[in-house]
Structure 1
Amino acid sequence: MSEPLNPEQLRSLTPLNVLSEQQWRELRAQLVPQPLLAGQLLFRPGDQARLTYYLLAGELLLQSVDGQEQRLQAGSEASCHPLSPSLPRLHEARALTDASVLALDTATLNRLLTWRLAYQDLLLELGQDHAEVEWLERLLENPLFAKVPPSNVRAMLARLQRVELAAGSTVLQEGDVGDSCYFLKNGRAEVIRGAGSAQQVLAELEIGACFGEEALLADSPRNATVTMLEDGVVLRLDRQDFFALLKAPVVDEVSLGEASRLLAAGAQWLDVRLQEEYERAHALQSLNMPLQLLRLKARLLDKTRTYLCYCDSGKRSSSAVFLLSQLGYRAYALRDGVDALPAVQRDALLCESGSGYLARSGGRTERSL
């Protein structure tokens, strides 16, 4: 298998040339050239594959539906742009010589480009301070910021309070009342639940990570402790600013009717209540990932699928959607939770009982025995 290309080899490609180093790292797994043999078809007119193609080597023939032809040579100005980008495709593309192409997931590329262009002005304002730009890029490349308007980000940056911490310092303590959330600006931190022999490390946080928001969204005590692994800096955002600037645009809520339409399109119920609550009654074929374990278990979910989170009041499901958005998943919360539904609708929704369904690696689900 070919090695991924170095971003420097792709700097001539438009609009890839505006991506940041962090964004290139996100695309790395896709930066593998795909070989084409002379005469091999790449795509036909009407093709609906959501891929963005670039010609890297060799020569292609593009033929439109009305018979017009264009010979495309790698290295030419025309080859620096995507091949027949409109969907459905308007051309047939066939290799005239042995060739290679780059195929990128269009949805991922569009997300990265949208973010980069939307925040370009803000990054330019900070351009004199390389450290600030680097941190802000890492922060904004958190997928949840794809939903946050630039005006909210500007307001948030003005309200953040800087806190310098030494290695071993506790940023927040399990069981405490939550009145703010935090962003890790530099250094390393870990998320821990429990104490002594029952202690469990849930995650190590990266620069730009948001944490502490679950207590705000669920209106409950902190469910984990965050400790600095090395000297670093965190930025504190007060409760009211979090709700106004981040929660509102990030947490998408749906009614039961809207959820039904999403289910018909392939979405999956995700029950974020405790296992005992789930076993008592849960939605048909729903997965159970209790909120306190979601950060640890989310890797088992399928990023190509939409998840509909629910709980009793809507608070835990809002927390789940916020967390899943950070991790790059598409998720919605059932508005106000199942307790807000009329009894008939609630009973119809929570129609199964018992151990139900489990998530397995690769996004697979299976019935628990």
Structure 2
Amino acid sequence: MEKGMKGMDLALMEESSALDFGWVRTLVPLKAMGDAHLLELLQHCPAQMAFKGQNLFEAGSYDRQHVYLLHGDVELRKPDGSSELIKGRSSLFPLADEQPRPCSAVALTDSSILRINSEQLDKLLTWSQVAEYLQIDTAYQPELDDDVDWMLTVLKSNLFFKVPPTNIGDIFTRLRPQKVVKGQVILRQGEIGDGCYFIKEGCAEVLRSADGVQRPIHLADIGPGRCFGEDALVNETVRNATVKMTTDGVLMVMDKLDFIHLLKEPQVNQLPLTALQSVQAQAVLIDVRTEDEYALGHLSQAVNIPLGLLRLKTRMLNVAQEYVLYCDTGRRSHAATYLLQKLGYKVSYLQKGVNQDLDLRRQLASNKGDYLLKDGRATPVLDSGQ
């Protein structure tokens, strides 16, 4: 059978990879991800052992990874000869999170580390936070109350993780309901696939014949929330199993052409790096990264509205004010810009994000003071002692 919405067995994952999921759940920015998206990320990056004296990375190198120290001691050695000792669980942030690496990292003891592909992390983090935005948005639409549960199930399905985050909301406009009856065959082994199905109501069984001719054997029972037939969305292949309803029910169906349409990313207003300085006088900068990332450092006079909380914070914005959104890579700010444009705000995002420029990265490190929105403008937050 196609993979469907299997989900991951957390206990088995922790046992096989030596990951303490509870601790990993506190790391930045992993803590801002939903469980389904985080588990999808972690299944590709189990914990690794680093032995005493082993280099984790070299100064000046590009590895495009987030490297977290889980256990043990690591020394960060800078080119100027200075060093810093990092002990396991003493920091929630990745080690020397900058490309190229500003220092080398050497294990002083046998250590456990977690290496995560930065690109994959950025994609799933954006997906997860846009899904959170949509979850909040449904609360503003009481007519959707009856559909909330299955909509949230769809948002947690790894089937759609390849869809650009800007198109997540369109998933529901592409799914059409289909009433089915007990005994109805939905997919037949050996047929050409042309779509996928979510079970909204009812149950089905999965059957397979060894050669397509012999009497099929029962493989599994599936119920509400499960997806099947998804291989047909991306591959020209025949069905490798038969799915038959065991009760009456309702399926949500997506055709292959609709899925392909969802893969096309829409255009939104973007601002090149060269134009950033010229617009700062009239535009308000909004950092859409998480609160922890913002607290570590941000651009001068930027306010923080995390992507996942964007729907709750729109009341603080002024439709007449111009806003420029940014994040590390441009992916989260691109999605946030699209969502705010749909609501009628004057927004653009910093193309490619702050990671593209050394001066911007230095600004992130030097600006710690908080700003908040007041009448749509950035206002500094004064310390309690002032």
TM-score, length-normalised on structure 2? 0.48
| 1:234 and 2:251 aligned | yes
Match of 2:105 among 93, 104, 107: 93
Q: Distance in 2 between matches of 1:215 and 1:100?
A: 39
The amino acid across from 1:209 in the alignment is C
- Structure 2 residue aligned with 1:136: 154
Deviations 1:265-289 (A, max 9, x none): xxxxxxxxxxxxxxxxxxxxxxxxx
State which of 166, 180, 184 in structure 2 corresponds to 1:150.
166
Equivalent positions of 1:111-190 (< 5 A) are: 111-126=123-138, 131-132=149-150, 134-139=152-157, 141-142=158-159, 144-151=160-167, 153-158=168-173, 160-163=175-178, 165=180, 168-172=183-187, 182-185=197-200, 187-190=203-206
Pick aligned residue for 2:68 from 48, 54, 57: 54
Give the Cα separation in 2 of the matches to 1:131 and 1:246: 22
Distance 1:205 1:46, change over 3 A: farther
Shift of 1:81: 1.0
Which residues in structure 2 correspond to 1:197-346 (within 5 Å)?
197=214, 207=225, 209=227, 211=229, 214=232, 225-228=242-245, 233-237=250-254, 243=257, 245-250=258-263
The 1:231/1:3 distance shift into structure 2, 3 A limit, reads farther
| Cα distance in structure 1, aligned partners of 2:234 and 2:77 | 56
Range moving further from structure 2, 163-172 or 44-53: 163-172
Where does structure 1 differ by over 6 angstroms across 4 or more consecutive aligned residues? 127-130, 174-180, 200-206, 215-218, 220-224
Counterpart-to-counterpart distance in 1, 2:262 and 2:214: 40
1:26 corresponds in structure 2 to 40
**Contiguous gaps of at least 5 residues in structure 2:** 1-14, 140-144, 266-386
What corresponds to 2:58 in structure 1? 44
Distance (whole Å) between structure 2 residues aligned to residue 227 and residue 125 of structure 1: 35
Aligned residue type for 1:47: S
Q: Confirm or deny: 8 A CA contact 1:65 1:91 kept in the other structure.
A: yes
8 Å CA contact 2:164, 2:264 repeated in 1: no
What secondary structure, in the 3-state scheme, does the structure 2 residue paired with 1:17 have?
helix
User: 2: distance between equivalents of 1:82 and 1:51?
Assistant: 9
1:64–1:176 Cα change, 3 Å: closer
Corresponding letter in the other structure for 2:260: K
SS at match of 2:28: coil
Q: CA 1:20–1:28 in 2, change beyond 3 Å: closer, same or farther?
A: same
Which structure carries more relative contact order (alpha carbon 8 Å, separation 6+)? Answer: 2
CA distance, structure 2, for counterparts of residue 37 and residue 217 of structure 1: 42
What is the RMSD of the two structures over their aligned residues, measured on CA atoms?
A: 4.5
Looking at structure 2, the residues matched to 36 and 216 of structure 1 have their Cα atoms a distance apart, in angstroms, of: 38
Change (3 A) 1:56 1:138: same
How far residue 106 of structure 1 moved from its aligned partner, in angstroms, is 3.3
Contact preservation (8 Å) 1:170, 1:226: yes
Contact 1:119–1:150 at 8 Å: present in 2 too? no
Aligned counterpart in structure 1 of residue 26 of structure 2, from 2, 8, 12: 12
Residue 195 of structure 1, CA deviation:
6.1
The 1:191/1:184 distance shift into structure 2, 3 A limit, reads: farther
Mapped partners of 1:197, 1:148: distance in 2: 42
Distance 1:149 1:226, change over 3 A: same
Contact conserved, 2:52 with 2:108, CA < 8 A, in 1?
Answer: yes
CA spacing shift, 1:216–1:108, aligned 2, 3 Å: closer
SS in 1 for 2:126: helix
State the AA in 1 paired with 2:214: S
**Which runs of 5 or more structure 1 residues have no equivalent in the other structure?**
253-369
Of the structure 1 ranges 128-137 and 102-111, higher mean CA displacement relative to structure 2 is found in: 128-137
The 3-state SS of whatever aligns with 2:60 is: coil
